[in-house]
């Protein structure tokens, strides 16, 4: 069970962790108070069935609560630091280049948590179909994954090096 849990860990830099924690603290405290005040002010305007401000505030409240749950989940399943990395082996924190089979197209991206913003290249989550298919593969190996439309796609790992940052 521990191995499965380790695969679901999001690796975050200290900066990203601090930013997400600050967002959670704001939304859980002042953010909730502000939206409650907006709802109360709109409620005082009268008939709730035809009160656009009330419905907009309630919708905003739902989005805030959803983001709070998302942030709690990310932070509970995250580790601060760098994922263990081995040159030539695909894993979180690696810059990966793949070639699509039956096509000469190549794609280079960072395999990392989507919450690691600021990367100047595309970021693919290790839990995405492509990310989970190539995780742990070595340069030269192939992996097949299922596209959202149900078709299969095969890629060959051309390169996997630790991400050096911007």
Domains located in the chain, CATH noted: 2-80 (1.10.287.180), 94-162 (3.10.50.30)
* Segment (H or E) for 109: strand 106-111
**pLDDT > 70? residue 55:** yes
Please give the structure tokens belonging to residue 79. Answer: 């580790």
Q: Give 128-148 pLDDT, tens digit per residue.
A: 899 889 988 999 999 999 988
Distance CA 159, CA 30 (A): 46
Predicted pLDDT at 103: 80
Distance CA 130, CA 71 (A): 24
Query: How far, CA to CA in Å, does 72 sit from each of 13, 65, 66, 152?
Result: 17, 11, 10, 34
**pLDDT > 50? residue 3:** no
pLDDT (average), residues 14-40: 89
Residue with the larger pLDDT of the pair 110 and 81: 110
pTM here? Answer: 0.54
Counting residues of the chain whose pLDDT is more than 90, the rounded percentage is 33
Predicted pLDDT at 27: 94
Predicted pLDDT at 14: 73
Residue among 40, 44, 39 nearest 56 (CA): 39
């Amino acid at each position: 069970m521990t191995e499965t849990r380790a695969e679901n860990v999001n690796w975050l830099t200290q900066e990203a962790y601090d930013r997400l924690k600050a967002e959670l603290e704001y939304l859980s405290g002042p953010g909730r108070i502000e939206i409650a005040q907006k709802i109360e002010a709109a409620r005082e305007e009268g008939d709730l069935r035809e009160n656009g401000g009330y419905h907009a505030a309630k919708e905003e409240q739902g989005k805030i609560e959803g983001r709070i749950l998302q942030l709690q989940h990310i932070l509970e399943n995250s580790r601060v630091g760098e994922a263990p990395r081995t040159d030539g082996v695909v894993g979180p924190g690696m810059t990966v280049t793949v070639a699509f089979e039956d096509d000469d197209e190549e794609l280079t991206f960072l395999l990392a948590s989507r919450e690691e913003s600021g990367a100047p290249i595309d970021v693919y989550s290790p839990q995405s179909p492509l990310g989970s298919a190539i995780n742990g593969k070595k340069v030269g190996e192939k992996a097949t994954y299922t596209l959202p439309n149900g078709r299969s796609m095969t890629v060959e790992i051309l390169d996997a090096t630790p991400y050096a940052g911007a």
